[in-house]
Amino acid sequence: MGESSRLNGKVVFVSGAGRGFGAAIAKAMAREGANLAVHYNTSASGAEKVAESIRSLGRQAITLQGDITRWPEVKKLADQAFDHYGQLDVLVNNVGDMASEQKSWREVTEAAIDHVLAVDIKGTMLMTHEFGSRMLGQERGGVIVNIGSRVVVAGSPRAPQYAAGKYGIIGLTKSYAKAFAPKVRVNTYGPGFIETERLLARAEWKTGRREEILKNTPLNHIPQPDEATGPVIFLASDDSRHITGGFLISDGGLSMVGA
């Protein structure tokens, strides 16, 4: 089961877990003792591989497909997860769109704006609303961890709609943290750059951006996906039992924020 079991016996739903950071989160949850609902929209084979690796740890895993920007599909996902396991303790809203193919604000299109805001804001809201309201009906309550970004500190001259989407998640986090208290906690995790396949494929990343970020990061490191899951485990577990409506940044000191 791994070195610890902070989520032993818990059921965790991770959205967008067929690849990238979501896949790393799902596997990390399993190592902590959780059973998983591995969500995907288009990455079916990736989701099945993640589920197989979770089962190899001795945990349970199901794969669920759905478009989180459509409320009927979100309701179906919630039905499937709760019906299969009989409970859901943690929801990780990992799905997001950073408009990674966009190189400059000058390239923005109306379609790009609509898609990012639909996924990051509407999708996160629908998932939080539907899953969280059902968690309220459980005696044990639940926890929601939204995956945000340090972009809310720095802004994004490359893709302003991405920064707007992640800002929206903070508004949703605070609102539902108050609405669902005290039974369901809601927090946002704000990682910096994580070297996912999507980031590694970005043209700017291959032409000097990586070196520039490293130079400005006090800890002089850009994590791989599995190195960046610790704060998600913390926010999902009882270690953070007195934290709700919060924003936890983890970017190697690139954005030093505080009072």
Q: Is 176 known to be catalytic?
A: no
Task: State the pLDDT at residue 2.
Answer: 47
Spatial distance between the Cα atoms of 117 and 14, rounded to a whole number of angstroms: 20
- SS3 (DSSP) at 61: strand
- Asked if residues 252 and 213 have their Cβ atoms less than 8 Å apart, the reply is no
Domains in the chain: boundaries? 11-250
- Could you say which of 162, 167, 176, 189 is catalytic? 162
Edge to edge, what strands does the sheet with 11-14 contain? 61-65, 35-40, 11-14, 90-93, 142-147, 184-191, 247-250
- Indicate the pairing of strand 247-250 with strand 142-147: unpaired
CATH of the domain spanning 11-250: 3.40.50.720
- Tokens 């396991």 label which residue? 85
Please name the helix (run of DSSP H) or strand (run of DSSP E) that holds residue 170, with its range, or none.
helix 160-180
pLDDT tens profile 68-88: 999 999 999 999 999 999 999
Q: Which residues contact 133 (CB under 8 A, 6 or more apart)?
A: none
Contact in structure between 7 and 29 (CB atoms under 8 Å): yes
- Give the model's pLDDT for residue 36: 98
Q: Which helix (H) or strand (E) holds 215?
A: helix 210-215
Q: What is the pLDDT of residue 3?
A: 56
pLDDT tens readout for residues 153-185: 999 999 999 999 999 999 999 999 999 999 999
The helix/strand/coil state of 201 is coil
pLDDT tens sequence for the chain (259 residues)? 445 799 999 999 999 999 999 999 999 999 999 999 999 999 999 999 999 999 999 999 999 999 999 999 999 999 999 999 999 999 999 998 878 788 899 999 999 999 999 999 999 999 999 999 999 999 999 999 999 999 999 999 999 999 999 999 999 999 999 999 999 999 999 999 999 988 888 888 888 999 999 999 999 999 999 999 999 999 999 999 999 999 999 999 999 987 6
pLDDT at residue number 253: 96
